Amino acid sequence: MITHFSRSSCLSLLRSLKSTKFSSSQTSSSRRMLSSSVFDRPFKIAQKNASSHLLSKSDSDPIDYSYFNTEIATRLIERLEDVRSRDFTLALDLGSKTGEVLMAINREESLSGNGGGIGGVRKLVMVEGSKGMRSLVNSEEEFCSSYTVPDGDEAMLPLPFPDDSFDCVVSSMSLHWISDLPSTLTEINRILKPDGAILLAIPGGETLPELRSSLLLAETERDGGVSLRCGPYVDVPDVGRLLQGAGFRLNTVDVDSVAVSYPNMMVLMEHLQRMGENNASTARRGTASKDLFLSAAAIYSSMFPSEFNDDSNPSEDEIIATVQVIYGIGWKKHDSQQKPDERGTASAKIGEDIVIDQG
Protein backbone atom coordinates (compact mmCIF):
# COMPACT_ATOMS: atom_id res chain seq x y z
CA MET A 1 0.00 0.00 0.00
CA ILE A 2 1.31 3.47 -0.91
CA THR A 3 0.59 6.27 1.53
CA HIS A 4 -0.25 9.59 -0.12
CA PHE A 5 0.98 12.65 1.79
CA SER A 6 -0.54 16.08 1.40
CA ARG A 7 1.95 18.85 0.70
CA SER A 8 1.19 20.59 4.00
CA SER A 9 1.68 17.41 6.05
CA CYS A 10 4.97 16.70 4.26
CA LEU A 11 6.33 20.17 4.98
CA SER A 12 5.21 19.93 8.60
CA LEU A 13 7.01 16.60 9.02
CA LEU A 14 10.16 17.99 7.41
CA ARG A 15 10.20 20.92 9.82
CA SER A 16 9.79 18.63 12.81
CA LEU A 17 12.61 16.37 11.64
CA LYS A 18 14.87 19.38 11.07
CA SER A 19 14.35 20.47 14.68
CA THR A 20 15.04 17.01 16.14
CA LYS A 21 17.79 17.04 18.76
CA PHE A 22 20.37 14.24 18.93
CA SER A 23 22.13 13.11 22.08
CA SER A 24 25.74 14.13 22.70
CA SER A 25 26.90 10.51 22.36
CA GLN A 26 25.30 10.25 18.91
CA THR A 27 26.86 13.55 17.83
CA SER A 28 30.36 12.68 19.03
CA SER A 29 30.29 9.26 17.40
CA SER A 30 29.17 10.85 14.12
CA ARG A 31 32.06 13.32 14.29
CA ARG A 32 34.55 10.52 14.87
CA MET A 33 33.21 8.69 11.82
CA LEU A 34 33.37 11.78 9.60
CA SER A 35 36.91 12.63 10.69
CA SER A 36 38.19 9.19 9.71
CA SER A 37 36.53 8.40 6.38
CA VAL A 38 33.38 9.90 4.93
CA PHE A 39 33.29 7.78 1.76
CA ASP A 40 34.03 4.15 0.96
CA ARG A 41 36.58 4.68 -1.81
CA PRO A 42 36.92 1.03 -3.02
CA PHE A 43 33.13 0.79 -3.15
CA LYS A 44 32.89 4.02 -5.18
CA ILE A 45 35.46 2.75 -7.69
CA ALA A 46 33.53 -0.53 -7.97
CA GLN A 47 30.34 1.45 -8.65
CA LYS A 48 32.02 3.49 -11.38
CA ASN A 49 33.52 0.38 -12.97
CA ALA A 50 30.11 -1.30 -12.98
CA SER A 51 28.44 1.71 -14.58
CA SER A 52 31.16 2.40 -17.15
CA HIS A 53 29.80 -0.04 -19.74
CA LEU A 54 26.39 1.67 -19.54
CA LEU A 55 27.69 5.18 -20.21
CA SER A 56 28.11 4.74 -23.97
CA LYS A 57 25.19 4.96 -26.34
CA SER A 58 24.07 1.75 -28.06
CA ASP A 59 21.31 0.71 -30.43
CA SER A 60 19.31 -0.77 -27.54
CA ASP A 61 19.84 2.25 -25.25
CA PRO A 62 20.56 5.46 -27.22
CA ILE A 63 20.91 7.64 -24.10
CA ASP A 64 24.34 9.10 -23.41
CA TYR A 65 24.36 9.03 -19.60
CA SER A 66 27.34 11.38 -19.38
CA TYR A 67 25.11 14.28 -20.51
CA PHE A 68 25.20 16.08 -17.16
CA ASN A 69 28.96 15.73 -16.62
CA THR A 70 29.53 16.92 -20.19
CA GLU A 71 27.44 20.06 -19.60
CA ILE A 72 29.17 20.96 -16.32
CA ALA A 73 32.65 20.34 -17.79
CA THR A 74 31.78 22.69 -20.67
CA ARG A 75 30.66 25.42 -18.26
CA LEU A 76 33.81 24.99 -16.18
CA ILE A 77 36.18 25.20 -19.15
CA GLU A 78 34.42 28.37 -20.35
CA ARG A 79 35.62 29.90 -17.08
CA LEU A 80 39.15 28.76 -17.92
CA GLU A 81 39.19 31.02 -20.97
CA ASP A 82 37.65 33.87 -18.98
CA VAL A 83 40.38 33.89 -16.30
CA ARG A 84 43.31 33.16 -18.59
CA SER A 85 46.11 35.70 -18.27
CA ARG A 86 48.50 33.41 -20.14
CA ASP A 87 48.39 30.01 -21.84
CA PHE A 88 47.85 27.07 -19.45
CA THR A 89 50.13 24.90 -21.55
CA LEU A 90 50.20 21.85 -19.24
CA ALA A 91 47.05 21.04 -17.27
CA LEU A 92 45.89 18.25 -14.96
CA ASP A 93 42.35 16.85 -14.93
CA LEU A 94 41.80 15.31 -11.48
CA GLY A 95 38.95 12.82 -11.63
CA SER A 96 38.63 12.79 -15.40
CA LYS A 97 35.78 10.23 -15.66
CA THR A 98 35.31 9.55 -19.39
CA GLY A 99 37.19 12.63 -20.58
CA GLU A 100 34.49 15.31 -20.51
CA VAL A 101 37.04 18.04 -19.67
CA LEU A 102 39.25 16.94 -22.57
CA MET A 103 36.29 17.16 -24.95
CA ALA A 104 35.41 20.61 -23.64
CA ILE A 105 38.98 21.88 -24.12
CA ASN A 106 39.05 20.47 -27.65
CA ARG A 107 35.79 22.14 -28.68
CA GLU A 108 37.70 25.02 -30.25
CA GLU A 109 41.19 26.43 -30.62
CA SER A 110 42.63 28.84 -28.07
CA LEU A 111 41.79 32.50 -28.67
CA SER A 112 45.46 33.42 -28.04
CA GLY A 113 46.47 32.08 -31.46
CA ASN A 114 49.41 30.19 -29.92
CA GLY A 115 47.87 26.77 -30.43
CA GLY A 116 46.20 24.42 -27.99
CA GLY A 117 42.56 24.16 -27.00
CA ILE A 118 40.48 26.48 -24.85
CA GLY A 119 42.67 28.23 -22.29
CA GLY A 120 45.77 27.52 -24.34
CA VAL A 121 45.97 23.96 -23.00
CA ARG A 122 48.22 21.86 -25.23
CA LYS A 123 48.69 18.82 -22.99
CA LEU A 124 46.15 17.44 -20.51
CA VAL A 125 47.21 14.83 -17.96
CA MET A 126 44.23 12.84 -16.69
CA VAL A 127 43.86 10.97 -13.39
CA GLU A 128 40.86 8.67 -12.86
CA GLY A 129 40.47 5.92 -10.27
CA SER A 130 38.06 3.80 -12.32
CA LYS A 131 39.67 1.59 -14.95
CA GLY A 132 36.31 1.23 -16.70
CA MET A 133 35.92 5.00 -16.96
CA ARG A 134 39.49 5.41 -18.23
CA SER A 135 38.81 2.93 -21.03
CA LEU A 136 36.02 5.14 -22.41
CA VAL A 137 38.17 8.25 -22.92
CA ASN A 138 38.21 9.41 -26.54
CA SER A 139 41.80 10.61 -26.88
CA GLU A 140 41.51 11.94 -30.43
CA GLU A 141 43.90 14.89 -30.56
CA GLU A 142 42.62 18.03 -32.21
CA PHE A 143 43.95 21.06 -30.38
CA CYS A 144 45.03 19.44 -27.09
CA SER A 145 46.77 16.10 -26.60
CA SER A 146 46.24 13.93 -23.53
CA TYR A 147 47.89 11.36 -21.30
CA THR A 148 46.07 9.13 -18.80
CA VAL A 149 48.02 8.11 -15.69
CA PRO A 150 47.94 4.27 -15.42
CA ASP A 151 46.32 3.04 -12.19
CA GLY A 152 45.88 6.64 -11.03
CA ASP A 153 43.30 7.74 -8.49
CA GLU A 154 42.20 11.30 -7.74
CA ALA A 155 41.95 10.39 -4.04
CA MET A 156 45.56 9.23 -3.71
CA LEU A 157 47.79 11.13 -1.30
CA PRO A 158 50.31 12.41 -2.05
CA LEU A 159 49.59 13.06 -5.71
CA PRO A 160 52.26 11.38 -7.88
CA PHE A 161 53.71 14.56 -9.36
CA PRO A 162 56.71 16.76 -8.41
CA ASP A 163 56.36 20.29 -7.07
CA ASP A 164 55.52 23.13 -9.47
CA SER A 165 54.49 20.82 -12.34
CA PHE A 166 51.27 22.19 -13.83
CA ASP A 167 50.01 25.53 -15.11
CA CYS A 168 46.45 24.58 -14.21
CA VAL A 169 44.54 21.86 -12.34
CA VAL A 170 40.91 21.21 -13.27
CA SER A 171 38.41 18.96 -11.50
CA SER A 172 34.82 18.64 -12.70
CA MET A 173 32.26 16.87 -10.50
CA SER A 174 34.74 14.46 -8.90
CA LEU A 175 36.08 15.93 -5.66
CA HIS A 176 32.79 15.32 -3.80
CA TRP A 177 33.74 11.62 -3.43
CA ILE A 178 37.05 12.37 -1.69
CA SER A 179 37.06 12.06 2.11
CA ASP A 180 40.15 14.18 2.83
CA LEU A 181 39.37 17.18 0.67
CA PRO A 182 41.62 19.67 2.56
CA SER A 183 44.71 17.46 2.03
CA THR A 184 43.85 16.96 -1.64
CA LEU A 185 43.58 20.72 -2.21
CA THR A 186 46.88 21.25 -0.40
CA GLU A 187 48.48 18.70 -2.73
CA ILE A 188 47.03 20.50 -5.74
CA ASN A 189 48.63 23.72 -4.50
CA ARG A 190 51.97 21.92 -4.20
CA ILE A 191 52.00 20.59 -7.77
CA LEU A 192 50.89 23.88 -9.35
CA LYS A 193 53.47 26.29 -10.71
CA PRO A 194 53.58 29.74 -9.07
CA ASP A 195 50.61 31.76 -10.33
CA GLY A 196 49.01 28.51 -11.48
CA ALA A 197 45.23 28.16 -11.24
CA ILE A 198 42.81 25.61 -9.83
CA LEU A 199 39.32 25.40 -11.33
CA LEU A 200 36.82 23.04 -9.74
CA ALA A 201 33.15 22.20 -10.04
CA ILE A 202 31.57 20.32 -7.16
CA PRO A 203 27.96 19.54 -6.11
CA GLY A 204 26.76 21.82 -3.32
CA GLY A 205 24.69 21.24 -0.23
CA GLU A 206 21.44 22.13 -2.04
CA THR A 207 21.86 19.23 -4.49
CA LEU A 208 18.85 16.93 -5.05
CA PRO A 209 16.71 18.39 -2.25
CA GLU A 210 13.61 16.88 -3.86
CA LEU A 211 15.01 13.35 -3.82
CA ARG A 212 16.38 13.67 -0.31
CA SER A 213 13.08 15.03 1.05
CA SER A 214 11.05 12.29 -0.63
CA LEU A 215 13.28 9.52 0.70
CA LEU A 216 13.31 11.11 4.15
CA LEU A 217 9.53 11.29 4.34
CA ALA A 218 9.04 7.77 2.99
CA GLU A 219 11.63 6.28 5.32
CA THR A 220 10.13 8.06 8.32
CA GLU A 221 6.70 6.69 7.48
CA ARG A 222 7.85 3.16 6.61
CA ASP A 223 10.76 2.53 8.97
CA GLY A 224 10.24 5.05 11.73
CA GLY A 225 13.68 6.63 11.21
CA VAL A 226 15.97 8.18 8.64
CA SER A 227 19.36 7.35 7.14
CA LEU A 228 21.86 8.98 4.79
CA ARG A 229 20.75 8.31 1.23
CA CYS A 230 22.43 11.21 -0.61
CA GLY A 231 25.66 13.12 -0.05
CA PRO A 232 26.97 14.58 2.15
CA TYR A 233 27.92 17.61 0.08
CA VAL A 234 29.88 20.79 0.86
CA ASP A 235 28.18 24.16 1.28
CA VAL A 236 29.06 27.28 -0.69
CA PRO A 237 31.04 29.03 2.12
CA ASP A 238 33.02 25.83 2.71
CA VAL A 239 34.54 25.93 -0.78
CA GLY A 240 36.07 29.38 -0.23
CA ARG A 241 37.38 28.36 3.19
CA LEU A 242 38.87 25.15 1.80
CA LEU A 243 40.69 27.02 -0.99
CA GLN A 244 42.02 29.61 1.42
CA GLY A 245 43.08 26.94 3.92
CA ALA A 246 45.01 25.12 1.16
CA GLY A 247 47.05 28.28 0.46
CA PHE A 248 45.27 29.61 -2.65
CA ARG A 249 44.98 33.36 -3.27
CA LEU A 250 42.45 35.59 -5.08
CA ASN A 251 39.76 32.95 -4.67
CA THR A 252 36.36 33.30 -6.31
CA VAL A 253 33.27 31.12 -5.87
CA ASP A 254 30.04 31.18 -7.87
CA VAL A 255 27.01 28.91 -8.03
CA ASP A 256 24.76 27.42 -10.70
CA SER A 257 21.41 25.79 -10.01
CA VAL A 258 20.68 23.25 -12.74
CA ALA A 259 17.18 21.76 -13.02
CA VAL A 260 16.53 18.60 -15.04
CA SER A 261 13.18 16.90 -15.71
CA TYR A 262 12.64 13.14 -15.49
CA PRO A 263 9.55 10.96 -16.02
CA ASN A 264 9.63 9.75 -12.41
CA MET A 265 11.94 9.13 -9.45
CA MET A 266 12.89 5.64 -10.63
CA VAL A 267 14.27 7.02 -13.91
CA LEU A 268 16.21 9.68 -11.99
CA MET A 269 17.83 7.06 -9.75
CA GLU A 270 18.61 4.87 -12.76
CA HIS A 271 20.44 7.78 -14.40
CA LEU A 272 22.37 8.51 -11.19
CA GLN A 273 23.43 4.87 -11.02
CA ARG A 274 24.55 4.79 -14.64
CA MET A 275 26.55 7.99 -14.12
CA GLY A 276 28.36 6.24 -11.25
CA GLU A 277 26.82 8.65 -8.72
CA ASN A 278 25.32 6.06 -6.35
CA ASN A 279 25.65 6.64 -2.63
CA ALA A 280 29.10 5.57 -1.36
CA SER A 281 28.98 7.04 2.14
CA THR A 282 30.43 4.89 4.91
CA ALA A 283 27.24 5.70 6.85
CA ARG A 284 24.93 4.25 4.20
CA ARG A 285 22.35 1.64 5.13
CA GLY A 286 21.72 -1.60 3.30
CA THR A 287 19.46 -1.98 0.29
CA ALA A 288 16.16 -0.17 0.73
CA SER A 289 12.89 -2.06 0.41
CA LYS A 290 10.64 -1.96 -2.63
CA ASP A 291 7.86 -0.40 -0.54
CA LEU A 292 10.17 2.42 0.53
CA PHE A 293 11.01 3.36 -3.05
CA LEU A 294 7.39 3.14 -4.20
CA SER A 295 6.34 5.39 -1.35
CA ALA A 296 9.18 7.86 -2.06
CA ALA A 297 8.30 7.91 -5.77
CA ALA A 298 4.66 8.75 -4.98
CA ILE A 299 5.73 11.56 -2.62
CA TYR A 300 8.19 12.90 -5.22
CA SER A 301 5.57 13.04 -7.98
CA SER A 302 3.10 14.75 -5.65
CA MET A 303 5.43 17.36 -4.14
CA PHE A 304 7.91 18.17 -6.91
CA PRO A 305 6.22 18.14 -10.34
CA SER A 306 7.98 19.79 -13.25
CA GLU A 307 6.80 23.31 -14.02
CA PHE A 308 6.48 22.28 -17.67
CA ASN A 309 3.78 19.65 -17.01
CA ASP A 310 0.63 19.89 -19.14
CA ASP A 311 -2.50 19.77 -16.98
CA SER A 312 -4.49 18.40 -19.91
CA ASN A 313 -2.28 15.31 -20.14
CA PRO A 314 -1.37 14.12 -16.60
CA SER A 315 -0.03 10.79 -17.90
CA GLU A 316 2.94 12.68 -19.32
CA ASP A 317 3.74 14.52 -16.07
CA GLU A 318 7.40 14.72 -15.08
CA ILE A 319 9.32 15.54 -11.91
CA ILE A 320 12.09 18.07 -11.39
CA ALA A 321 15.57 17.36 -9.99
CA THR A 322 17.79 20.26 -8.95
CA VAL A 323 21.58 20.15 -8.71
CA GLN A 324 23.55 22.96 -7.09
CA VAL A 325 26.95 23.25 -8.77
CA ILE A 326 29.64 25.26 -6.99
CA TYR A 327 32.51 26.60 -9.10
CA GLY A 328 35.72 27.56 -7.35
CA ILE A 329 38.79 29.33 -8.79
CA GLY A 330 42.03 29.95 -6.91
CA TRP A 331 45.63 30.90 -7.68
CA LYS A 332 48.92 29.72 -6.25
CA LYS A 333 50.91 32.49 -4.58
CA HIS A 334 53.15 34.60 -6.83
CA ASP A 335 54.88 37.96 -6.39
CA SER A 336 53.08 39.46 -9.40
CA GLN A 337 49.63 39.04 -7.82
CA GLN A 338 47.66 41.89 -6.34
CA LYS A 339 48.26 42.51 -2.66
CA PRO A 340 46.31 44.59 -0.14
CA ASP A 341 47.97 47.70 1.24
CA GLU A 342 49.39 47.50 4.75
CA ARG A 343 47.00 48.17 7.57
CA GLY A 344 46.88 51.83 8.55
CA THR A 345 48.01 53.25 5.19
CA ALA A 346 44.55 54.42 4.06
CA SER A 347 44.24 58.17 3.40
CA ALA A 348 40.44 58.34 3.80
CA LYS A 349 37.79 56.84 6.05
CA ILE A 350 34.76 54.89 4.94
CA GLY A 351 31.80 57.26 4.62
CA GLU A 352 33.85 60.34 3.84
CA ASP A 353 33.34 62.22 0.59
CA ILE A 354 36.32 61.70 -1.69
CA VAL A 355 37.02 64.24 -4.44
CA ILE A 356 39.05 62.98 -7.39
CA ASP A 357 40.80 65.59 -9.51
CA GLN A 358 40.19 64.68 -13.14
CA GLY A 359 42.82 67.17 -14.27
> Where are the domains positioned within the chain?
38-308+318-331
Centre a 10 Å sphere on the Cβ of residue 15 and count the other Cβ atoms it contains: 9
Report how far residue 68's alpha carbon sits from residue 167's, in angstroms, rounded to the nearest whole number: 27
User: For residue 295, is pLDDT > 80?
Assistant: yes
Instruction: Report the pLDDT value the prediction gives residue 85, as an integer from 0 to 100.
Output: 76
E runs forming strands in the chain: 90-94, 123-127, 145-148, 166-172, 192-203, 249-262, 319-331
Q: How far is CA 2 from CA 126, 212, 217, 218, in A?
A: 47, 18, 13, 10
What is the structure's pLDDT at 117?
92
* Residue 340 confidence class, pLDDT cut points 50, 70, 90: confident
Residue 89 has pLDDT above 90, yes or no: yes
Q: How far apart are alpha carbons 297 and 221 in whole angstroms?
A: 13
Give the pLDDT score at 26: 34
**Which pLDDT band, with edges at 50, 70 and 90, does 262 fall under?**
very high
CB 327 within 8 A of CB 254: yes
Given a cut of 70, whether residue 34 has pLDDT beyond it is: no
User: How much is the pLDDT for 53?
Assistant: 77
Q: Which residues pair with 261 in a beta bridge?
A: 320
**Distance separating alpha carbons of residues 248 and 196, to the nearest angstrom:** 10
Average pLDDT over residues 207-211: 95
Whether 3 shows a pLDDT value over 80: the answer reads no
What was the pLDDT predicted at 35?
A: 41
pTM, to two decimals: 0.83
Q: What is the pLDDT of residue 157?
A: 93
Q: How confident is the model at residue 315 (pLDDT cuts 50, 70, 90)?
A: low
Query: End-to-end CA distance of the chain, in Å?
Result: 81
DSSP state string for 54-70 = TSS--SS----TTHHHH
User: How confident is the prediction for the chain on average, in pLDDT?
Assistant: 84
Does the pLDDT at position 22 exceed 50?
no
How many residues in the chain? 359
Of 317, 314, 302, the closest CA to residue 2 belongs to 302
Q: Does domain 38-308+318-331 have CATH number 3.40.50.150?
A: yes
Residue 353 banded pLDDT, cuts 50, 70, 90: low
pLDDT of residue 64: 83
